[in-house]
Amino acid sequence: MTTQENLRAADYETIIPVSRANTKVFKTGQWSQKKPTHHPKLSPCREACPVGNNIPGALAHVSKGDYNAALALILQENPLPGICGRVCYHPCQTSCNRNQFDETVEIRSLERAIADYGCATPQICSSPTDNKTTIAVIGSGPAGLSAAYFLALFGHRVTIFESRAEPGGVLRYGIPEYRLPGEVLNREIGRILALGIDLEKGVRIDSERLDDLQDRFEYIFLGTGAWLPQKTGLSSENRETIQYGLDFLSHEKKEIFCQGKKNIVVIGGGDVAVDVARTARRLCGPGTVITMIAPEKEGDFPAIPEGLAEAEDERIRIIGEYQPIEFIGNSHLEKVRFVRTKVEKDRVTGRYTLLPGDGNDLLVDADLVLIAIGQLPDTGLFLPEIVDKDFSKVFVNDLGMTPSSRFYAGGDLTRKRPAVADAILSGKRAALSIHLKANGYDPEIIIPALTLGQGSSLSISAYIEAGLIDLKKVVQFAELNTLLYRKTGAEHGTKSPPETRRTDFSEVNGGLERKAAIDEAKRCFYCGSCIGCDLCFLLCPDISIAKEGDRIYRVDKDYCKGCSICATVCPRHVIEMEESQ
Amino acid sequence: MRDLLSGNYAIAEAVRMAKAQLIPAYPITPQTPIYERLSEMESQGTLPGVMVRVESEHSAMAMCIAASLAGVRVFTATSSQGLALMHEMLHFASGNRVPVVMGCVNRVLAVPWSFGSDQTDTLSQRDTGWMQFYCEDNQEAFDTVIQAYRISEATMLPSMVIIDAFFNSHFIEPMDVPDQRLIDLFLPQATLPERFDLNDPAFISNVVTSGAQFLPFRERAFTDMEKAKEIIREVDIEYRAQFGRGYGMVETVQTKDAQLVLVTSGSMTSTARMAIEALRDKGLKVGLLKIKAFRPFPSREVEDALQNIPKVAVIDRNISIGKEGIFCQELKSALYNSTARPRIYGYIAGLDGLDVSPEIIENICLEVLGKEMPDNLPIWVKGN
């Protein structure tokens, strides 16, 4: 028994290896050079969005049913989400990475749902120590409203001058109710004005008043739009049976123009032409033939495809590759002669030119012609040095400033892309420039830093929360871990039936129901945005990713061996491997 | 109490009486009746411990190790492929110095697939740091399980208690089952160190530095295995005193004047006893050495028994392909430095449970007695 007792008395921990320290002494992270970085990046949709909406961020909120948070996020970049959610040409959807998986996320419908179901107040971006200045905004279209909105958020005193009876410009007087109901417009303009912006309606600015404004305000933002019709240059244009796009849409007597007409010809292939045709459809009898003719190929019309499809549903004939050369008829218009044409884009200037095409002329019966081939700004009022007479527009630089340093301009007046979202961008850019200048910062340094990816849009939230998102890295489809996603079709909103639309100006698109919008938002890959899925945290084999709060992960470089499992598994490419210093 | 039990049931009975607290196991022929019998006892409420059905033998041993480290007396049993699968964890068990007792029923290792007895499965685990006890009959299997707990818990080294497939595992023999009260006196409740302490957490099986730390642990295990020999002897003497039966690490039969000593292990030893008797009756001076403890290897006992004997014949129910029978190798190496070492003749017999009859054993002895020099390679015995 002695031997047994001796062994029993032994300290067992001398016979097996036991560690009461931990292996943290082994800094295994020093074995590798590559380390993951957790840094949100730009999604391609946001890069493409002229307004710079944080689309993945907002959709993440919607996916959880939080429309209020989504709207608050959207309002950081876009003063008019309910409008963009209805009328935008949605370049975001074209560049959506989901196109390479199944089909795009219905971002525009989701923006509309956010605006319609959410409730939020725009966040003031100024600090009390910022300098405050005074700005007159001339014109209350999307550019003017946007400039006024962001300037007010920065704390400046803004007064909008609007020549018409109500604010909104082209939004109210150009876009018909069936696409943009007045109540949506009033709601969104009301939210902007509620920031403490003064609005003077029915005030047309002439040169005398402009001088007066220069005395009263430090800066002036010109956003008067492009209301003069581009003409065809053909003779006999001045009959009452020939009307022009925006003039027609905003005309009090447009219903009278249409009454009793049998054959209406719409010339032009843009959104205004589509709206003109569809408005005419609602104002004339159901037997009227409406034909829309444009120089572009069918399928290549500049108008938003959905609008064109809706027009066709409303029995509007669409013909491409013709341009008018003659209006035929004596006291009354009878026919329009068209010739075959083709459109060529100049690779250098990007301008389109019309060239003769192959084929016979087309003779179309017409008792009303509606021409919508473009709009020109009225620049007669402005200082000669800021006007480009050749192209009838106001000069602006990349900061939204005209050659006269107190004058900024945006929207159609500058003849950039004539879209609501681009007008909002121009107003935002000018507002930020004015704010930076008023505070002694150099906009030429700051604005490029706030530019999203390779695009042209700007982020105000990036100005407020500098560095939170890497604005220069755009997440590509190949960088996503799509194993985490299932293929699903997009949710689409309802449309009113074409039969009822022909006499009715109520909204055609019903939008997404709350539940459908949540489902659709869940389809978003949230490219480049962390949604706190925890996969990196859970799958790190070295327990080297610490979770330090909501969507905040820290890599412990002392122990991360650089295996890259976190970067590989991250469905959104928020994490990527980089050489460690 | 006298009882009729198979070898498997004898082991199960010993485990019950040893009051093993946890029995993680996985069935495999021919060990399955141990598992089944213990399950039956559990369902009848007569098993003091708890059985856990695990997903593999590897897991069974992992669970044994963890529970034993936490101070629990454990048991498991396996055979053949199950033991092979468990191999990695056998090293963990001995390295962690856990006193696990395992019942092993020798069965051939595939391939070819078969079920008969063959010691190669356990002998392949020779270097895992486990003690190995080869039992001759069912009584010895019972007694060895009880002793093994005492030995393992004293040395903090794991033990295999080994019997032959079918000859032991399934054949029913009359045997003595002691009183639980006496067993309890001989083998009290385990008093293992409880290493599981939430307030003082530790990591076991940690990485150590190669020279300064690894070597001393191995050396300590080696010297403790050497010390185990003394403990095995002491425990056996104590057991004999209490129950009237003892086995020793080896047993010698009529070796003093022998011209030839036959060396066997496991169930064929009983047959060899009869063959020796028959040869003695014919006037041939033949003796028998039974090897029970294979690890630790009883070198001193073997040397004492066999030096000065002219000839030794070893019958191995196992084969190390590329060399010879494994007991034969071990004997040769144990005797190499003896001053008067015998000539050693190796025979391979009884693989896959072939019967090693008294005639086979007698013929081997006669052949060896008439042969001047041993062959370099073992002689394969293929039947009568």
Across the interface, whether the CB atoms of B227 and A22 are under 8 A apart is answered: no
Percent of the residues in chain B that have a pLDDT greater than 70, as a whole number? 99
Q: Which residues of B touch A27 (CB under 8 A)?
A: none
Identity of the residue in B96, B200, B235 whose CB atom sits nearest the CB atom of A16: B96
Buried b / exposed e along B53-73 (16+ C-beta atoms within 10 A) = ebeebbbbbbbbbbbbbbebb
Average of pLDDT values for B196-212? 79
Residue in A closest to B225 by C-alpha:
A7
Region class of B80: left (phi > 0), else alpha (psi between -120 and 50), else beta: left
Instruction: Name the least confident of A21-30, A195-204, B333-342.
Output: A21-30
Q: Which residues of B touch A14 (CB under 8 A)?
A: 220
Identity of the residue in B95, B156, B231 whose CB atom sits nearest the CB atom of A3: B231
Instruction: Name the least confident of A111-120, A520-529, A551-560.
Output: A551-560
Q: Which residues of B touch A3 (CB under 8 A)?
A: 154, 227, 230-231, 234
Domain annotation for chain B: domains and CATH numbers: 2-189+198-243 (3.40.50.970), 250-380 (3.40.50.920)
User: What pLDDT, on the 0 to 100 scale, is given for residue A237?
Assistant: 58
Average of pLDDT values for A330-357? 84
Percent of the residues in chain A that have a pLDDT greater than 70, as a whole number? 97
**Amino acid in position A212:** D
Across the interface, whether the CB atoms of A15 and B224 are under 8 A apart is answered: yes
Across the interface, whether the CB atoms of A4 and B195 are under 8 A apart is answered: no
Q: Which residues of A touch B238 (CB under 8 A)?
A: 1
Indicate whether A439 pLDDT > 60: yes
Across the interface, whether the CB atoms of A15 and B230 are under 8 A apart is answered: no
Residue in A closest to B71 by C-alpha:
A12
Across the interface, whether the CB atoms of A17 and B230 are under 8 A apart is answered: no
Residue in A closest to B226 by C-alpha:
A3
Identity of the residue in A4, A14, A17 whose CB atom sits nearest the CB atom of B234: A4
**A50-94 tens-digit pLDDT:** 999 999 999 999 999 999 999 999 999 999 999 999 999 999 999
Average of pLDDT values for A24-32? 86
- Chain A closest-CA separation from residue B241 CA (Å): 13
Q: Which residues of A touch B235 (CB under 8 A)?
A: 4
The SS3 of residue A137 is strand
Q: Which residues of A touch B155 (CB under 8 A)?
A: 7
Identity of the residue in B202, B220, B234 whose CB atom sits nearest the CB atom of A1: B234
- Helix segments in A203-284, DSSP class H: 207-216, 245-250, 254-258, 271-283
Q: Which of residues 60-119 of B touch A (CB under 8 A)?
A: 95-97
Q: Which residues of B touch A11 (CB under 8 A)?
A: none
- Chain A closest-CA separation from residue B326 CA (Å): 30
Across the interface, whether the CB atoms of B217 and A16 are under 8 A apart is answered: yes
pLDDT band at residue A114 using 50, 70 and 90 as cut-offs: very high
Identity of the residue in B95, B193, B238 whose CB atom sits nearest the CB atom of A12: B193
Q: Tell whether B220 lies on the interface with A, counting CB pairs under 8 A.
A: yes
Q: Using H for helix, E for strand and C for coil, what is the string for A58-117?
A: HHHHHHCCCHHHHHHHHCCCCCCHHHHHHHCCCHHHHHCHHHHCCCCCCHHHHHHHHHHH
Query: Which of B243, B181, B274, B200 lies closest to A13, judged by CA?
Result: B200
Q: What is the DSSP string of A19-63?
A: ESS-GGGS-GGGG-SEEEEE--EE-HHHHH-TT---HHHHHHHHH
Average of pLDDT values for B297-301? 97
**A177-236 tens-digit pLDDT:** 999 999 999 999 999 999 999 999 999 998 889 999 999 999 999 999 999 998 888 876
Chain A residues near any Cβ of chain B (below 8 Å): 1, 3-4, 7-8, 12, 14-20, 22-23, 26
Q: Is A73:A57 a contact under the CB 8 Å cutoff?
A: yes
Indicate whether B207 pLDDT > 90: no
User: What pLDDT, on the 0 to 100 scale, is given for residue A1?
Assistant: 43
User: What pLDDT, on the 0 to 100 scale, is given for residue B382?
Assistant: 86
**A456-483 tens-digit pLDDT:** 899 999 988 877 899 999 999 999 999 9
Across the interface, whether the CB atoms of B200 and A20 are under 8 A apart is answered: yes
- The values of phi and psi at residue B126, to 5°, are -50, -40
Tokens of A226: 């492009």
Across the interface, whether the CB atoms of A17 and B204 are under 8 A apart is answered: yes
Q: Tell whether B193 lies on the interface with A, counting CB pairs under 8 A.
A: yes
- Chain B closest-CA separation from residue A9 CA (Å): 10
Average pLDDT in chain A:
91
Across the interface, whether the CB atoms of B206 and A19 are under 8 A apart is answered: yes
Strand order of the sheet with strand A263-267? Answer: A242-244, A368-371, A263-267, A289-294, A316-320
Q: How far apart are CA A187 and CA A493, in angstroms?
A: 21
Percent of the residues in chain A that have a pLDDT greater than 90, as a whole number? 73
- Mutation target to probe the B interface, by most B beta carbons within 10 A, among A1, A6, A7 is A7
Q: Tell whether B211 lies on the interface with A, counting CB pairs under 8 A.
A: no
Domain annotation for chain A: domains and CATH numbers: 23-40+530-579 (3.30.70.20), 41-121+475-522 (1.10.1060), 134-227+377-438 (3.50.50.60), 231-373 (3.50.50.60)
Q: Which residues of A touch B156 (CB under 8 A)?
A: 7, 12, 15
Q: Which of residues 231-290 of B touch A (CB under 8 A)?
A: 231, 234-235, 238
Q: Which residues of A touch B195 (CB under 8 A)?
A: 12, 18
Handedness of CA B199, B205, B206, B210 (dihedral sign): positive
Q: How far apart are CA A469 and CA A454, in angstroms?
A: 15
Q: Which residues of B touch A4 (CB under 8 A)?
A: 150, 154, 231, 234-235
Q: Which residues of B touch A20 (CB under 8 A)?
A: 200-203
Tokens of A91: 């370049």
**A151-180 tens-digit pLDDT:** 999 999 999 999 999 999 999 999 999 999
User: What pLDDT, on the 0 to 100 scale, is given for residue A10?
Assistant: 54
Residue B349: Cβ within 10 Å count: 23
Q: What is the ipTM of this complex?
A: 0.71
User: What pLDDT, on the 0 to 100 scale, is given for residue A5?
Assistant: 54
- Chain A closest-CA separation from residue B224 CA (Å): 9
Q: What is the DSSP string of B241-270?
A: HHHS----SEEEES-TT-SEEEEE-TTHHH
Q: How far apart are CA A392 and CA A415, in angstroms?
A: 8
pLDDT band at residue B384 using 50, 70 and 90 as cut-offs: low
- Mutation target to probe the A interface, by most A beta carbons within 10 A, among B196, B204, B226, B233 is B204
Identity of the residue in A3, A12, A18 whose CB atom sits nearest the CB atom of B156: A12
Q: Tell whether B224 lies on the interface with A, counting CB pairs under 8 A.
A: yes
Across the interface, whether the CB atoms of A4 and B154 are under 8 A apart is answered: yes
Identity of the residue in B95, B202, B234 whose CB atom sits nearest the CB atom of A3: B234
Q: Tell whether B155 lies on the interface with A, counting CB pairs under 8 A.
A: yes
User: What pLDDT, on the 0 to 100 scale, is given for residue A486?
Assistant: 93
Q: Which residues of B touch A7 (CB under 8 A)?
A: 154-156, 224, 227, 231
- Mutation target to probe the B interface, by most B beta carbons within 10 A, among A16, A18, A25, A27 is A16
Tokens of A516: 């459908």
Across the interface, whether the CB atoms of A22 and B193 are under 8 A apart is answered: no
Across the interface, whether the CB atoms of A17 and B208 are under 8 A apart is answered: yes
Q: Is B26:B82 a contact under the CB 8 Å cutoff?
A: yes
Q: How far apart are CA A235 and CA A248, in angstroms?
A: 20
Identity of the residue in B96, B202, B227 whose CB atom sits nearest the CB atom of A19: B202
Residue-level length of chain B: 384
